[in-house]
Amino acid sequence: MAASLKEQIDELLGKLSPGGVFGIDIGAHSIKVCEISGNPKKFKVDKFGAFVLSEAAIIEDEFQKPSEIVEGLQEAMKRAGIKSKTGCLGLYGPNTMTKRLNVPEGTKEEIEDHIMWEAEQYITFGADESQISFHIIGENEGGGKDALVAAARTDVVERFSAILADAKITPKIVDLNVLALSNIFEEVYADDLDEYSEGSLILDLGAQSTKVIVYKRGGPIFTKELPIGGGLVTEEIQRQMGVSYEEAEDLKTNGDENGNLPQEILNIINTQIDQQVAEIRKNINFYISQGSAEKVNFCFVTGGNSLLPGMIEKLSAATSLEVKRIDVFSKIKIDERKAEKSLDHLSAISAIAIGLAMRKVN
């Protein structure tokens, strides 16, 4: 017998308990874990740890090296000093989706029924094989209510939950990374959210994918994941320079023995950035065109790939928007002595993990 929508909501979002959860971001390049304290506008990062994975440990949402993922989770928690065993896990990839829907007024049951029927039209990987959740954002200007629907394939939820179980972690909450990113955006820019709700583009430039969010009227109206990221830059350096994956990654991020990026590496980076920015523009062209009623006025970026030299400038030129980095620590406190690298670098790689950790007090 298929689970009811209410049961699916409980399964996907979990039920919060005293003591909360820590954030778990299992990315293609690295695993990040984070524990925070405090309340909205007064959050503090207490513990953060990361573990860099080897080449192709994860491809999309498939674990190619499960034992390494388990060891990486345990090592990241050890480095952070996290003792809790209950986490908020972030999901991503082609077997997840979000959709903004306008739903009519009605009872809770009527709204659930309407959302379930609508969701079946949009979930390409099958509503019957998915965990589904929704959140009412507010009143719609044209009548009814705005609802944000989230879904993930059941087998993906189970696969990630199993890897956590092997690491002795209980996934108390399962969230989507794009929603965690929206939450951190709302937290950091709470004072200016009315202005930014007129239309903002949020990009998470990761290793294996680029997450695209168009944020408008109090929440995402469009989300998409593009299969481009910093991993492609590493692969191209590896191919052209005839070096290992680890050596290519080191050249990309640290340069030569003097800390400088050789010209041939810069050329590879610039070519890859041009290609990736063109792909991003193609996918958001509707929103940055002058004729669109949903056009955006602001652009914010995060993610490790955003740190590549020239990325911000090329994105700004392609979108004709001022591009700003999401400065997580402008509003969320952290003890700088605990940061292994610069706060700019930590801010770029930690945003999703922190957004997931925020769920314990939301």
Least confident of 101-115, 193-207, 222-236: 101-115
| pLDDT at position 73 | 98
Q: CA 148, 152, 156 angle in degrees (round to 5)?
A: 160
This prediction's pTM: 0.90
For residue 274 the two structure tokens come to: 């041009």
Mean pLDDT value across the chain: 89
Residue whose C-alpha is closest to residue 354's, from 208, 183, 220: 183
Could you tell me whether strands 200-205 and 170-176 are parallel, antiparallel, or unpaired per DSSP bridges?
A: unpaired
Residue 197's domain comprises 5-360
Look at residue 292 and tell me whether its pLDDT is greater than 70. no
Q: Per-residue pLDDT tens for 119-171? A: 888 998 988 999 999 888 888 777 888 999 999 999 999 999 999 999 999 99
Tally of domains within the chain: 1
% of the chain at pLDDT higher than 70: 92
| φ, ψ (nearest 5 deg) of residue 66 | -60, -40
**Which CATH number covers residue 228?**
3.30.420.40
Confidence of residue 360 (pLDDT cuts 50, 70, 90): low
Output the pLDDT for position 9.
Answer: 42
